[in-house]
Amino acid sequence: DAGVIQSPRHEVTEMGQEVTLRCKPISGHDYLFWYRQTMMRGLELLIYFNNNVPIDDSGMPEDRFSAKMPNASFSTLKIQPSEPRDSAVYFCASSYKAPGTEAFFGQGTRLTVV
């Protein structure tokens, strides 16, 4: 397996634009996680899915953020409208079992909102 695949690797967008980040988890993994990493706040869990169903979205900062998982092999994180403070590295991770078991991370999407 190629691991967790995220796209794009880098995204630069203007404030107010819609941004969509994509993730393909490892085949057979039942859990998918979206994290955000910033210098100020470190690594924070935004939302996670189990078998394509959102389980905990308490980390999603605002209604501008939404995430979907239409099938077991694809997930999106959307920000609409984007703001400069959304600039961060967004990671997707997947795991075979429950949260707290070994998770495999993608290489991240570096988002810059200008």
Partner 1 sequence: KQEVTQIPAALSVPEGENLVLNCSFTDSAIYNLQWFRQDPGKGLTSLLLIQSSQREQTSGRLNASLDKSSGRSTLYIAASQPGDSATYLCAVYYGGATNKLIFGTGTLLAVQP
Give contact residues for partner 1 (rule: CB under 8 A). Answer: 4, 42-45, 48, 56, 59, 91, 93, 98-108, 110
For partner 1, the closer of residues 81 and 87 by Cβ is: 87
For partner 1, the closer of residues 41 and 63 by Cβ is: 41
Q: Quick count: other Cβ atoms within 10 Å of Cβ 100?
A: 8
Per-residue tokens: 38:
């910033």
If residue 95 lies in a helix (H) or strand (E), which one and from where to where? strand 88-95
For partner 1, the closer of residues 81 and 107 by Cβ is: 107
